[in-house]
Amino acid sequence: GEWNYYGRGPNKWHEQFPIAKGQRQSPIDIVTSNAKVDKALSDNPLKVSYSNNCCQSVTNTGASFQVVVDGAGTEISGGPLDSTYKLVQFHAHWGPLGGDEGSEHTVDGVTYPAELHLVHWNQKYKDVGEAVDKPDGLAVIGVFFSRGKEHAGFKPISDLFAKVPRKADKVDISFNYDPACLLPARRDYWTYLGSLTTPPLFESVTWIVMKDPVEVSAEQLAALRNLLWETPSGEGQMCNNYRPPQPLQGRLVRST
């Protein structure tokens, strides 16, 4: 059987998850000239208040790394959000070694080598399991990674990937870590209503895609490949775990 759903390719997901051809699927290509500046987004700025001891562990999920967060006091609100959302995990998607594809969202057709997702759930629900399939259940902040100088803030995390090579491997995070260090300095973003980008592809995500990428080094991008996964020809380096852009279906993308 498949250890990860990328094995058969995202174009086959609709066979098991018909919503793959739905009306609010993610990711999308963000056509910047079609994005509409919405003053309401700046009038009520996105508030990100993470604590610096919220990160508990890093796990190899078999399709990405996942930093599991204890949501205590780690919340976002404002901007496009009508209530408070709590951080539950963050992970990433990336491409082949040295390549420039790998992000899920694209900007005027431009791809980045990787994209980080900070996943939050709406506090109006009792837990993430209840929120995950509701139209306003999740809010995911997407941050593009570009190749450049080393990201000191990402280093404590990227150094852990070698410790979790196989699916279900897990290492505790024993140090204080504030995930807000992964956000770009300029907090401008695009926002639109979309979905999970992996099965079950629930149409439950308010996407907040930061306009500015953050720079990470080639070595930090390479460290993502310390994570291994099952491929049809046996165990291999985890890469190309990204879904390509999906039809916009007439949705509006708003911009700060």
Ligand X SMILES: NS(=O)(=O)c1ccc(C(=O)NCc2ccc(F)cc2F)cc1
Closest approach, Cβ 205 to ligand X, in A, equals 6
Confirm if 103 and 242 have CB atoms less than 8 A apart: yes
For the chain, how are helix, strand and coil distributed in percent, rounded to 5? 15, 30, 50
Provide the β-strand partners of residue 114: 94, 145
* Contact footprint for ligand X (CB under 6 A): 117, 119, 129, 132, 140, 196-198, 200, 205
- State which residue, 107 or 132, has the beta carbon closest to ligand X: 132
- State which residue, 136 or 150, has the beta carbon closest to ligand X: 136
Residue with the two structure tokens 């951080």: 87
Confirm if 72 and 52 have CB atoms less than 8 A apart: no
Closest approach, Cβ 33 to ligand X, in A, equals 25
Cα-trace Rg, the chain: 17
Closest approach, Cβ 140 to ligand X, in A, equals 4
Closest approach, Cβ 55 to ligand X, in A, equals 16
Which residues make Cβ contacts (< 8 Å) with residue 115, sequence separation at least 6?
A: 92, 93, 94, 102, 103, 104, 105, 142, 143, 144, 145, 242
Closest approach, Cβ 190 to ligand X, in A, equals 15
- State which residue, 198 or 226, has the beta carbon closest to ligand X: 198
d(CA 53, CA 40): 32
- State which residue, 134 or 217, has the beta carbon closest to ligand X: 134
d(CA 107, CA 166): 32
- State which residue, 103 or 234, has the beta carbon closest to ligand X: 103
Closest approach, Cβ 82 to ligand X, in A, equals 20
- State which residue, 77 or 198, has the beta carbon closest to ligand X: 198
Containing 12, the helix (H) or strand (E) segment is none
